Amino acid sequence: MEYIELGSSGLTVSRITFGSWAAGGWMWGGTEQNDAVGAIHASFDLGVTSIDTAPIYGQGLSEEIVGEAIKSLPRDQVQILTKFGMRWDLAKGTLSMKSRNNEGQDIDVYKYAGRESIIRECEDSLRRLGTDYIDLYQIHWPDVTTPIAETMEAVQRLIEQGKVRAAGVSNYSVAQMQEAEQVLNLASNQVPYSMVRRDIEKDVVPYCVEHGKAILAYSPLQLGLLTGKIRPGQPFDEGDLRATHPLFKPEFVTRVNRFLDKIRPMAESKSATLGQLVLRWTLAQPGISVALVGARNAEQAVQNARAIDLTLSPQEVDFITRELEEGLGA
C-alpha cells in the first residue's frame, strides 16, 4: 500500500481509502452488516488503514458498522474520516432532499453546520464509532445558512479539545476553502472525481496543488459504472440511486463500455480488472491524493486494495487519457 500525508496536517492515510457509504445501505438498496465488517477487515489486512464514513450514511448505521469493525483493530493504526453537517433529525437548516431510510420510511435531510449542532454531531459520532477521537473531521456539504467562520471555529474548538486531529471539507469550492482557511488550516477537500467527472481539474485541483491541500476523490469508479460490469438498461434495487442517475442512461453506459473495451487489453496484460486500472489511473492524476472506494463484501475490498499493486508508466497513463478524451470527450 502507498501512504500520503494530508496537506501539512501530520495525518497520514492510505491512498486507497475504504469508503463506507454503501456499507450504510442508504441510497444503495440496503446493506448486510457482517459483509461490511468483513470488507473493512479484508481491506485492513492489505494495508488500507483509512476508513471514510458519515453520520448520514444509513442515519448512523455506517458509523456503527465502522465502530464494530475497528473494535478488533489497533486504533493507532486506523484513520477514521467522518463528516458533519447533514442532519435528518431536526427541522432547521437548508432542506437538501427528501429521502427514505433503510426501513423505507420518509425522512427529510438537512444541511446544517451551526456551532452547537457540530459539537453534538461530534459527540454522537464518537459514541457510534466507539472511539475518543476522529482523525479527519469534514463538513459534508456547504451550509449557506451558517457563516463558514462559525463552522470552522467549532471544528477548531474540537481540535483543541483533542476530539479531532485534522480538519477537512467536502464538496467545497475554491472560494469556500479560502474563507475556511481564514480560521483554521485545512488538510483536504473531498470531492467527486472520476474519468467521466473531471470538472475539478479547472479550479479545485490547481488551488489544492498550489496550497498543499490533499484531494480525496470520491466515486472514482462512478458508482460502479467504470468497472465494466454495468450493462445498458441494467435494473437496480429499489432505493438504489443509480436507478435514476443520468450517467446510467443506456446510451451513456454504451459509450462508457466502448471506451472500457479500448483499455481492457491493458488491464488483462497486467492481470488486473478494469476497476483496478481505473483506480490506478485516478491516483496518477495531478493533485489526487486518495481514492475513496466502496466495497460491500470482502471480495470487492480485496480487489480495490490490490489496485495499488499496478504500475502504470507515464506513456500508459497518457494512452488511457487519450482514449478517454476521444471516446467520451471527458
Angle (CA) 195-287-267 rounded to 5° is 40
Angle (CA) 273-274-278 rounded to 5° is 120
57 is catalytic: yes
* CA–CA distance, 105 with 218 (Å, rounded to integer): 27
Cell 480488472 belongs to 273
- Side-chain-side CA neighbours of residue 256 (13 Å): 26
Whether 19 contacts 13, CB under 8 Å: no
DSSP-assigned states of every residue in 84-97 = E-EESS-S-SEEEE
* CA–CA distance, 264 with 261 (Å, rounded to integer): 5
Q: How many CB atoms lie within 10 A of CB 232?
A: 14
Catalytic residue selected from 57, 112, 193, 207? 57
CA nearest 83: which of 247, 292, 241, 287? 292
Element of type H or E holding 107? strand 106-111
Q: What Rg value do the Cα atoms of the chain yield, rounded?
A: 19
Cell 457510534 belongs to 128
Residues annotated as catalytic are 57
